[in-house]
Structure 1
């Protein structure tokens, strides 16, 4: 027992010396500490934004310390008040930049005065611009200088309104308003607006539309830069409607143009801009200097053309697809060689893209057989009849299964034997798509086909031979329809090109009403005066009854009487013919109504089921008869009046004055 106790005593000394437990350090995350610091900074910034008034003084003091002229500079800008021009709030317009901002977000430090063409108002408010009131008839905020104020003084209230319903407070407010009125009326030191020492500005509309001076027989303004030249033209001054031309040169002498930008206005064909590029050794067409032409159009063309690009080896059409019937977005044509004006195009490929097509078509292309460079290409329509390959791509149809929803269809018409390859959409969670290929084999008995397919779903039922045959026959029909569609698309493209060529040969401008009136006045002023006599003779009411001889020869009494009788006879016949037409139509309507009434009364009343229809017909027929009777009576009155006026006109005609002697 003693040894055990001794051993225990020795163990306590060893524990204190060799087995002391160390304290674990506190572990901190640098990421968490950084995030906490960012959160505290965000909260501090939000707090500063919510309480900007606390920092206004300090910010102004800092700005003043940095800029010794802070608040001392004089500047003018424009104030557009609410109430007119469809303005709902007061707005500042910076004159140097044209930028607009509401008055409560003003970047300006202060306002001394506001003025217009009739008066001058001095600012009496001691507050920042963002809190100013721009009610110019408030005399506590604004003090006017001249009596010719466009702002009327506050009107005194009526006796009933001036009654103090709320006590002395309301009466005090009315007193303040009256004091403002008396101040206007009794002030002796208010200035009168002096007359202007300059004449009223007047600019002739024709000169205003002209805009620029005459330069080299053209109304334009030219400015040269280091390697470019800018020319500005007045609207409608040029027959093709150009208003701006920017020419970029490759040399400092400005003799070798590499790019020309032309801007148009008021073109009837909606041409807005044209860019021409020039590159030595590269031409769109033989005999044409441009290497690239880009044309841009505004909406409104019948063919919905938005952009047309002419390249040496191709052509690109871009459309406003929402204005096209099939939703075409772009048509790209590629050629195997450069174009020649007297030779057919050697087509390589045509690509068309769609958006919003009714059959979910988004891509269509046709590839042609290669043509030897040394041989002439056949006509484009013949090249379309024998393509090398045709491809169609479709968007996903959510109502169809992915394995049955066609994504791409390719007709390999140039292969021997021809093939039709189908690719379907990817199914959910699939990395492969189903495919199907039909191969046409020509035999003595006719065309046969073989089908090979790749099925993604191993549990899918295989197609029956009858289903394969029906699909193959359908694809053959779609192949013919595709060739027809490409033929129609090429015809539409050629029509667009012919229209563009005609528009460039005979450009037409949309002129304003003022310009049209001026052109009409100019045309009438330049018209030969001999035509006036011919026009008067053309509309002469006696021209067809006068004898065919010299115009200056006077008529005899017998001739004048014959002319008068013939004119009155012709008028009488016209009036009688008109009355006969009205009477005939009236008799036809009455006869038709009588016939319908007799037929209705003869039929069996118990078996009749068209009473409503009969009543409707009778009502319409009676209405027509009433209108025709009114027209007949009115024609009789008008005929008498016309006959009387014609007699008076003949009596006052100087050519028939011999009858009055």
Structure 2
């Protein structure tokens, strides 16, 4: 300490000087701006922080305890040594002013807190709440840390702050939830610092990783020889095609890069940012990662958007990064016990750390200072208890909604019950970067009594798809349509396990209807119905299912293989040509068979059709059953089969009429649900239930 005060000049060798090389990295950058331009303030917020009322704040905000004063002295001592040994490094962010103008050590600004909400027990819930609840304010000077750091309680009260405010509040919640979290003071790209996500893909549009296709297990199958071809000609053609495709891709990439090329940032590598570091270990975190508090997104420690780290801290200690950041953060070690990588302010035994170049010779005063340091303990946080009410938790958007712009997409968010239709989120996908032509719109809903939770709208085809949660009275899972008018093209999906008939999907137009089944005992998996044109002289009505039905032309049914039956008795396809009075059966094949057995029953030419009559002769029966036994080839067996098919045809026609009536009922119910939208109040929504109670009183 005396050596620093007397300013002894000591010849320093490269081995004696410890420097983070962040400054070397910054000095190597070609900055095309003047010093004055570098210190120009960013777009200032309209909110005036100097006008906030601090009179009601506790005394811990306005004064320092004896422990805090000792802590500030130790921090000053550490800062002086750091400045002396690393003169090229940027000043540490160590004891800024709080909202009352009092110096506070950054570690004591972190207040570990557990909030009584299930989502807040996980890092994703905490990060999502912080980025939604707070309004982002840029730093006054983009290349220097702020001169003040307000308490998390004040930040929550006014719902705004800079990256350091976001990080301290998020870190407080994460530590309270059991995570090994730290606030980070470092450098990041312009997009990260300014919350610019216009070059990023919206998380809602990210596709899950593709599962590699399995190779064909039948590798011993016969491979027939191909026609002989010249290898030289094949290589020449392949090379020409590759060259053409490469040139085309390069031209397209040049056009895209020219149009969407981001502007060069003259302050690249200098922009100060704060974020949160979560180390692996606690809460079963498998891998260390970053959290950008502005977006709440998870980032790898190798993410190139994060350019370097100066220091980190939590509620117990403060560490200075001593590693090279020329390549960003991807090569950094986050083993905080490694003294070569991280310089700790207080050792684990709660005594002040000793920098490697400090002289081993100490006088009596130094010994006394060391004894004081060894007995020093980190004081408790001066911040009051962090509280978030139910109303604030359920309505995090201070401006009513939140709008996020992505690459060719826009995401809008609302609080639950903010919209009468239950809308909480809307994603609009555009065809261009200027967001002028809409391609697709997705909407998410909550607390709707009709259990609708998502709606997809294709702006080009005008196709709308509604998705429902389990529990709808009509067992709806999804409904695709362009209009709620009947016979205009509807695809309805059901929760088939809740249906007696196992129907999972139905597609209907004016001319046809197709139904798909799952898990049926009769192995039926598809039914296709063709309709004719209805009588135009009769009036069409939607109120009765029996009014002017469409004539049924043909019914086709497809069955899976029933292993308990012989193949020549197990029907694979049956066709009822109702108008022509023809029934056609096609049977399954055995493994060694090549031609399927078939039976066709036709109407005798010149004979009138009668519903209650079954006329069978060799003239109206065509059968081809090469693999069947003799008992299946006699006329008695065919007569019994035809009798059963006639009865099933009558039942099928009634089932088709029931399906038509069900579709009409679905459309009527959905039209009524959309006209009279009702929201249910969740038992967990305390604020909404209180609001309802107040309205009733």
Normalising by structure 2, we get a TM-score of 0.46
- Structure with a larger share of its residues in helix: 1
More contact order relative to length (CA 8 Å, sep ≥ 6): 2
Q: Which structure has the larger Rg over C-alpha atoms?
A: 1
TM-score when normalising by structure 1: 0.48
